[in-house]
Amino acid sequence: MKKTIIILILISSVFLFSADWSAMTRSQKIDYLKELMNSSNYKDLVKYGEMLIAEGKPKKADFNYAETYNLTAIGCKNTGNYSKAEEYYKKAADIHKNELFNKSNYGLVMKNLGTVYYEQLKYSEMADSYRKALEALEDDNLFGFNDEDISFCSYWLGFAYNRTEKYDSAMVYANKAIEIDSEEFGEYSIETGTDYLVLANAYSGKYDRENAKKYFRKSISILEYLDDDEMESVDLGVSYNDFGVFFVENYEYDSAVYYYKKSLAVYENGGGEADKAITYYNLGQAYSYKYNYEQAKNYYEKAYNSYKSEYGEYDSRTKDAKKYYDEMKSKTSSSSTYDYNDTGSSNNYSYAETKKKSGCMDKFEGCLGIFKDLENKPFSIKLAADYMQSAGKYYVGGGLGIYANGAGLSGYYYWSPTAEGGTTQRHIPLVYSFGFGGFSYEFSLDIPSLFDNSYSNNKAAPKPVAFGAGASMNLFRFINVKCQYIWGPGGYLPRGLSLNAGIEFFI
């Protein structure tokens, strides 16, 4: 009986939610998808995202249409359906591709697409996505607000170019990331330290031993200095690991073993199975080059178990580790003499990626239409100028306001060179405004009238209030332009068409 009641409750709850879903507006459905994303409920994110996609594009303009694809793609990527994630990200990118302003929307989607290629080890496609993202972000970076995003893309472009052996390009973007991060965070910062690692690997790929060693040591010195929490410790382990790869490629196997073991000591205190697997694999490789097949077998076995635990039996990394483990096992179990052969090759499995930068991937999977939720900064200050044409005369003015979630309060000063019809030359209104979907509405109250007793006692005086409605848009994410009609009953405040332009500073 209890089981029957539970089943009935579950069925009724599903029915009730279905009814709620069908009654939601598109904006409410988008908000629900964001809640699913924020709670990491990716399975339902895919389910309801695809339901919203199936409803088709609305006849009227829908500012959240691309975001539907973006959010659904996030769900697909995080449930391992990379082909669908790629499809949806591309559809979102197509919508934003030809925007004249706010090109960062396109940049965000292309960054998200880059994470899909990263997960699949498709480094050429990854580089192409990040390059397009970087171009869009730089084109929309008049006041440097995109610097952190540009540094992120530059880092991963350098990373991808190293993996595709385009080392000169990797150097260009590694240096770009270093320049931005050292200015933004300082020379001794986790961001700058990981940037130097990309540069070191690029010099190593070009067989420039001296510069490679210089920048590996630079990266390690910064990360050792900052080694005060688990995240930064893992990044230090990555630098040790990659320095070990450098020594293997230069036939200095004892030095390679030394740095691999330092890397492993870091990972065993805070790294994941994937981190350990890479270094186990590299130690197996180094010991095989030293003809120490027993040690090589032990580390290849550990690499195999770790890769299998993290990625499954049929992943290419798991199969590679198993192959070399079996080879080392045959060498140690046979009494025959084996000639040296090149067992583990220097390949992309040998390299690790910094967790600080890799963890940033998720940061860029989010809102597009309301741009990154104003970059997660709840408040902005807006400094604006205004021109109003009103019944044969004009007003010029400016103001300062504070805004949050599309609504705000601001103080303005308006001045006109002429006065007629009972209207004064200047006004100082206090304005409450709010907006949604590109449309704005406001209510104004003249400040001096609040302190003028003679005015407030005169019941026949015109009302010192005004109402406005219009449309607004953001240019380059921080310049806002608004055109609206303002109407003041009684004529105390001016009536007319207003053109307002302002600069927003997020706080």
Helix (H, G, I), strand (E, B) or coil at 389: strand
Residues carrying CATH 2.40.160.20, the chain? 377-506
How sure is the predictor about 3, in pLDDT bands with cuts at 50, 70 and 90?
A: very low
In tens, the pLDDT along 74-87 reads 999 999 999 999 99
**Distance in angstroms (rounded) separating the CA atoms of residues 436 and 452:** 35
The pLDDT of 107-133, averaged and rounded, is 92
The answer to whether residue 490 scores a pLDDT higher than 80 is no
| Burial annotation 168-178 (CB, 10 A radius, 16+ → b, else e) | ebbbebbbbbb
Residue 73: predicted pLDDT = 93
Residue 422: predicted pLDDT = 52
The pLDDT of 330-341, averaged and rounded, is 57
In tens, the pLDDT along 354-376 reads 554 544 444 444 444 333 433 34
- Pair of tokens at residue 143: 């006041």
**Distance in angstroms (rounded) separating the CA atoms of residues 44 and 56:** 19
Query: Which CATH number applies to 231-361?
Result: 1.25.40.10
Residue 14: predicted pLDDT = 42
Helix (H, G, I), strand (E, B) or coil at 479: strand
Which has the minimum average pLDDT: 108-117, 308-317, 378-387, 392-401? 378-387
Task: Indicate the DSSP class of residue 430.
Answer: E
**Distance in angstroms (rounded) separating the CA atoms of residues 473 and 278:** 49
How sure is the predictor about 405, in pLDDT bands with cuts at 50, 70 and 90?
A: low
How sure is the predictor about 12, in pLDDT bands with cuts at 50, 70 and 90?
A: very low
Choose the most confident range, by mean pLDDT, from 67-71, 272-276, 476-480.
67-71
CATH architecture for residues 101-110+121-226: Alpha Horseshoe (1.25)
In tens, the pLDDT along 169-217 reads 999 999 999 999 999 889 999 899 999 999 999 999 999 999 999 999 9
**Distance in angstroms (rounded) separating the CA atoms of residues 416 and 386:** 12
For a pLDDT cut of 70, what percent of the chain falls above it?
74
- Tell the CATH topology of 22-98: 1.25.40
Q: Distance between alpha carbon 248 and the CA centroid of its chain, in Å? A: 35
In tens, the pLDDT along 123-150 reads 999 999 999 999 988 887 666 667 888 8
Residue 20: predicted pLDDT = 82
Residues carrying CATH 1.25.40.10, the chain? 101-110+121-226, 231-361
Which has the minimum average pLDDT: 140-154, 323-337, 348-362, 398-412? 348-362
Residue 173: predicted pLDDT = 95
The answer to whether residues 400 and 410 touch, using CB atoms and an 8 Å cutoff, is: yes
For a pLDDT cut of 90, what percent of the chain falls above it?
38
The pLDDT of 307-320, averaged and rounded, is 89
User: Which residue has better confidence, 294 or 65?
Assistant: 294
**Distance in angstroms (rounded) separating the CA atoms of residues 381 and 217:** 43
Residue 279: predicted pLDDT = 93
In tens, the pLDDT along 216-264 reads 999 999 999 886 654 557 889 999 999 999 999 999 999 999 999 999 9
Beta strands 496-506 and 479-487: pairing type? antiparallel
Helix H or strand E segment including 505: strand 496-506
- Tell the CATH topology of 377-506: Porin (2.40.160)
The answer to whether residue 37 scores a pLDDT higher than 80 is yes
In tens, the pLDDT along 418-451 reads 765 555 567 777 777 776 556 777 878 777 766 6
How sure is the predictor about 122, in pLDDT bands with cuts at 50, 70 and 90?
A: very high
Give strand ranges (E) for 356-476.
379-390, 393-404, 407-415, 426-427, 429-436, 439-446, 465-475
**Distance in angstroms (rounded) separating the CA atoms of residues 343 and 346:** 10
Alpha helices in 55-208 (DSSP H): 65-78, 82-96, 104-119, 123-139, 147-163, 167-184, 190-205
In tens, the pLDDT along 265-313 reads 988 887 778 888 999 999 999 999 999 999 999 999 999 999 998 888 9
Beta strands 426-427 and 429-436: pairing type? unpaired
The answer to whether residue 2 scores a pLDDT higher than 60 is no
Only one residue has tokens 């300082």, namely 186
